Amino acid sequence: MNGQALSPRALLLALAVVTVWGSNFAVIGATLHSLPPLLFAALRFAAVVFPLILFVPRPAVSWRILVGYGLAIGVGQFGLLFIAINGYIAAGLASLLIQSQVVFTIAMAMMTSGERLKPLQVAALVLALGGVAVIAGNTGGEVTVTGIALVLGAAFGWSLGNMAQRAAGKVDMLGFITWSSLFAVPPLAGLALWFEGLPAIEAALHATTPTIWAAIAWQAVGNTLFGYGAWGWLLARYPATSVAPTSLLVPVFGMASTAIWLNEPLPPWKLLAAALIIGGLALNLLATRQPGKRKL
């Protein structure tokens, strides 16, 4: 399936996923004013697991893949991402920088499955990396070196999760997301206890409001069950070089939503970084629609 373009239905599904994921950065930024980051991440995945795991059978996939995906997405992606947004980088910028997962995902796909980049896809990655460079050149205020490092780590965790989903193949994605999330909760809870402390956790839980619980529920249902379930369905049926770059639309919704709801400014350098990354998306989509050499 090297070079296979997304069908219209698959493209619409991918767009729905990235819309949910992008607008979610405003929710994350607002919620982190009330919950410590690791506690927030642990509650997010706990809400995915319980009570759904009592009714959804374990998918026909190895425990190794389930554990690997749960750790990569739960601890690697969201643990680091929530810490980063909690004072080290603006939520809108995080939505942009985390798209470096495209570079990691495509590189891993090339090494493990033989997928190859077309010349236009190389140009697309260069543009996307240019956007990352613009962000790195504007540290201070809304973005710190620590924040960049944390979000890049989160992007790497996301790419590892992408590879685990592809290795799982065409399995029941509801079961896959539910059971793999089981392995995200204990390490996140343990890290929360270690770094944030029991008194801070108890105080945060006692101060939660219906709005906070609604945000946690949205993290579980909208972003994890729908978002990652649909993302896994796409990765099982299309090349990573076609699926992963659609996530470059996440910062469009991420930066717009955080500007509207969190009053994050949009100076010219942010818009330049976004333009470079979205330009990379457009080139990649064009490349995947060009006919490739047929295998005999």
pLDDT at 115: 66
The pLDDT of residue 1 is above 70: no
pLDDT band of residue 289 (cuts 50, 70, 90) is low
Domain carrying residue 232: 8-288
Question: Which residues, including other chains, have CB under 8 Å from residue 172's CB and lie 6 or more apart?
Answer: 56, 57, 59, 60
b/e per residue 101-134 (b: at least 16 CB within 10 A): bbbbbbebbeeebebebbebbebbbebbbbbbeb
Query: In which band, very low, low, confident or very high, does the pLDDT at 293 lie, cut at 50, 70 and 90?
Result: very low
Report if residue 1 sits inside a domain. no
Stretch 133-138: mean pLDDT, rounded?
Answer: 85
Q: What span, in angstroms and rounded, lies between the C-alpha atoms of 90 and 12?
A: 28
Nearest to residue 256, comparing CAs of 18, 14, 87, 80? 18
pLDDT digits (tens, 9 = 90+) for 187-238: 999 999 999 999 999 999 999 999 999 999 998 989 888 988 888 888 888 8
- Identify the CA nearest to 168 among candidates 97, 231, 248, 242: 231
Phi, psi at 143, each rounded to 5°? -145, 135
Domain annotation covers residue 296: no
What is the model's pLDDT at position 45? Answer: 95
Q: Does a structural domain hold residue 293?
A: no
pLDDT tens, residue by residue, 138-187: 877 788 999 999 999 999 999 999 889 888 888 888 899 999 999 999 99
pLDDT of residue 162: 86
What does the DSSP 8-state code read for residue 267? -
Alpha-carbon gap, residue 140 to 143, rounded angstroms: 5
Residue 263 lies in a domain: yes
Concatenated DSSP letters for 8-24?
HHHHHHHHHHHHHHHHH
Q: What contacts 137, CB < 8 A, 6 or more positions away?
A: 269
295 lies in some domain: no
For residue 117, being part of any structural domain is answered with yes
Look at residue 233 and tell me if it is in a domain: yes
Please name the residues in contact with 237: beta carbons below 8 A apart, sequence gap of 6 or more.
1, 10, 170
For residue 183, what pLDDT is reported? 97
Look at residue 3 and tell me if it is in a domain. Answer: no
Distance CA 72, CA 12 (A): 26
Count up the domains in the chain and report the number. 1
Query: Is 203 buried (19+), middle (13-18) or exposed (0-12) by CB count in 10 A?
Result: exposed
Q: What is the pTM of this model?
A: 0.87
User: What does the DSSP assignment read for 237-256?
Assistant: TS-HHHHGGGGGGHHHHHHH
Res 296: pLDDT: 31
Share of residues in the chain with pLDDT > 70 (%) = 92
